Amino acid sequence: MFPALETERKQETLPDPYEDFMYRHLQYYGYFKDSLMLSSPLLRSRQLLFDELDQVNPRLREPRELFAFFSSKGTLQAPRWPIECEVIKESIHHIEWVPPQPEYFYQPTGNEKVPEIVGEEKGTVVYHLNPVPTEGSYFTSSRVGGKRGVIKELAVTLEGPEDDTLLFESRFESGNLQKAVQVDTYEYELTLRTDLYTNKHTQWFYFRVQNTRKDVTYRFTIVNLLKPKSLYTVGMKPLMYSQLDANIYNIGWRREGNEIKYYKNNTDNGQQSFYCLTWTIQFPHDQDTCFFAHFYPYTYTDLQCYLLSVAKNPIQSQFCKLRTLCRSLAGNTVYLLTITNPSPTPHEAAAKKAVVLSARVHPGESNASWIMKGFLDFILSNSPDAQLLRDIFVFKVVPMLNPDGVIVGNYRCSLAGRDLNRHYKTILKESFPCIWHTRNMIKRLLEEREVLLYCDFHGHSRKNNIFLYGCNNNDRKYWLHERVFPLMLSKNAPDKFSFHSCNFKVQKCKEGTGRVVMWRMGILNSYTMESTFSGSTLGSKRNIHFTIEDLKSLGYHVCDTLLDFCDPDKTKFTQCLAELKELLQQEIHKKFNERGEEVNLEGSWSDISLSDIESSTSGSDSSLSDGLPVHLLNIVDELNQKMMSKKKKKKPLQTRKQRNELHQKNKLMPEFKLTEDASDRAELGPTLQKQSTFYKTLENFRSSAMKNEKLSLSELNGGERSTSMDSKMTLILRKNKEKMQSKRPGFTPSCPQRGSTDSSQESAPGMKPNWPRNRYPVTKRSTTAMAAYPSLHVNTYP
């Protein structure tokens, strides 16, 4: 019935999905019942697994991904850029290198020069990008390579070998430099590009200079920084990379610069204040190509190279599954790694707790990627501790949440022009796909298993060291438990991690952050890890810049602390809790002493609100939410209206009869309670008199209803009141009829009796009985009775 599958078949003639379908179809119809047929070379399929002896293993290969990560040749996916961005064709690559000597902070002398800003009116523009999209515009489309057409040369043309003008360039991955103005022979004023589709967030810089001269002092001044405080004021140095040093001496990025000064710009545009960073430098070689950066760059291509090496590793790929979480706004892949060892039984697999880690939601905080790389290096290694962690946990890792921002060289925003770490509660799946899918992934994960810890890696531009922001727990059963992990981490990395810089206050302005949203979803240990752009002020690394290896080592310490935190022997956990209580008592005494008040902690001092003790995290390297761009506001309103309509919409009743009965039940019940109480005490004679009166009223209503089918709105309301009176009378008669029938022998009541027959429990005359509202079920009407109410369904929904 079906042709035999050939041993070797070209991809063009029979693609894998079709071959998989053919195999399953043949298997379904019993075509493979004979094991001899399975071993036949004519029936060999790439979907079947064979062992070393070429015997059939009745397992299918794992399905291919929805999106192909890497081609069979191992080439990477080219980054997709907004169509407004010009991109040079050159590939930029840097080596990793650890300085042999500590790189100490710059020590200000107090005599640093403060250059006056000249501007292009008195200087010469030597590099200027085309106008980039700012506030008011928005992302429309992307393509590999960015803007179409010929890439123009933006740097000045040298007049000859003696021309020592520097040649600037930043149109490469993660690069950021908008303009360079030469104001003296060896002095340049630099302007950074704002985040795309915004008019702010100038902090990250990364650019190239060529045509250098040795033993000459150059001065660079960045003129449009926005933060009034910076680590450059307390000794931080910029990073420099020499291409000749890398090629000849295998030297990579290093801290360089003298006469470093961070100060307020004397020019004022009337809207916002700018700040300047100035430094001097001497290049090591003539005719060298050098790079400057705010911090060690880590690009989207760097991440893909790393993931490609993991995917090709036959051992690591067994316990590290690479998946596509989603596509970014520009169409770049957001990767999700699931790391865990296979479990012997399904029960053990389901019992594993989960740990969720993410990084680079802020693209200019490249230190987060280096910590993530250190974590991945260790958790994917053959270390016994790493194997133990993979045995007891399921790790969900999103190594780069904002690839679009990383590619274009943004500092804080995505191509939506907004800070993603303020929009984790968003309902705009298409505009904020990375965080929407991350939150949704964690939501599904919580339905499957407990999530022990969530941590989002960040960078900080105003504080030294590494620290965590958490969320105070309101459950007294787990009081101070959210502080145990940070305290353990500070003990495992005492020269890098500062527990005293940690903060656990949940502010209203941080409700949209990943840390707070995941905490409100039920993750007790939900953190933001902040790593400085500078260095440490602790222990043996005091006043020394962090290197790449320092940050990667912190990734290892995170793993080490996880083992301590989950140790079955709770000695360390108990000791940390006791220490936390003592530290908290000291902090309470300090706060009350500052206020001049006395405090007695002998009682239930743990009831004191921790939020009142802690200061806010306003010193955090954060921005307030700008709200949504204008072009997204209407979309949000439409989605909210749809969601509200879905919540309010009830299942419709199918018949007019059901609608009428529901209407009567809701409208007549309050008034009917008193009437029914009186009817219960009435004698049968007056009731029969009411019955005759009712039939007369009913006949009059029938005749009037037939004559006046087209009623006005006011008449309909009146009809509703008349119908209500007649309905009450009908219910009274039916109730009395049932009581009369109950006296007959063999009668079984159709409705439940009162809870008590004791006369002492009866209500006093004239008082409203305390009965449940559902005491009277809706009575069943015949089709003949319904004919008397031809327009009642209109009154049901006025």
* Tokens coding 427: 């309902």
C-alpha 174/C-alpha 195 separation (Å) is 12
Q: Report whether 716 contacts 795 (CB < 8 A).
A: yes
3-class DSSP state for residue 187? strand
113: Cβ–Cβ under 8 A, 6 or more apart, which residues?
259, 261, 278
What number of CA atoms fall less than 13 Å from residue 664's CA on the CB side?
25
How far is residue 131 from each of residues 196, 239, 568, 785, measured CA to CA in Å? 11, 27, 59, 78
Structure tokens at 412: 């804080």
Residue 284: closest CA among 219, 218, 213: 213
Nearest to 664 by CA among 711, 730, 712: 730
CA nearest 221: which of 179, 167, 255?
A: 179
Per the rule left: phi > 0, alpha: psi between -120 and 50, beta: everything else, 543 is left
Are 222 and 279 a contacting pair, CB within 8 Å? no
Selected catalytic residue, list 169, 187, 189, 530: 530
Give the pairing of strands 333-339 and 258-264: unpaired
SS (H, E, C) 348-382: HHHHCEEEEEEECCCCCCCHHHHHHHHHHHHHCCC
Beta strands in 256-319 (DSSP E): 258-264, 275-282, 290-293
Inter-axis angle of helices 484-492 and 548-565, nearest 10: 130
Q: Are 416 and 431 in contact (CB under 8 A)?
A: yes
Contact residues for 236 (Cβ-Cβ < 8 A; gap 6+): 105, 106, 230, 260, 533, 534, 535, 545
Is the torsion defined by CA of 196, 197, 200, 201 positive or negative?
negative
Give the list of residues 6+ apart from residue 166 with CB closer than 8 angstroms, or none. Answer: 126, 180, 182, 188, 209, 210, 211, 212, 218
Q: Is the dihedral of CA 299, 301, 304, 306 positive or negative?
A: negative
- Distances in Å between the Cα of 506 and the Cα atoms of 357, 521, 586, 631 are 20, 14, 22, 30
- Answer for the pair 187, 177: CB distance below 8 angstroms, yes or no: no
- Rounded Cα distance between 742 and 726, Å, is 25
Spatial CA neighbour of 119 closest among 25, 190, 24: 190
Q: How many residues does the chain have?
A: 798
Q: How many CB atoms are closer than 10 A to CB 474?
A: 11
Tell me if residue 715 is catalytic. no
**Tokens read off for 123:** 């200087």
Amino acid identity at 121: E
Q: Which residues are catalytic?
A: 530
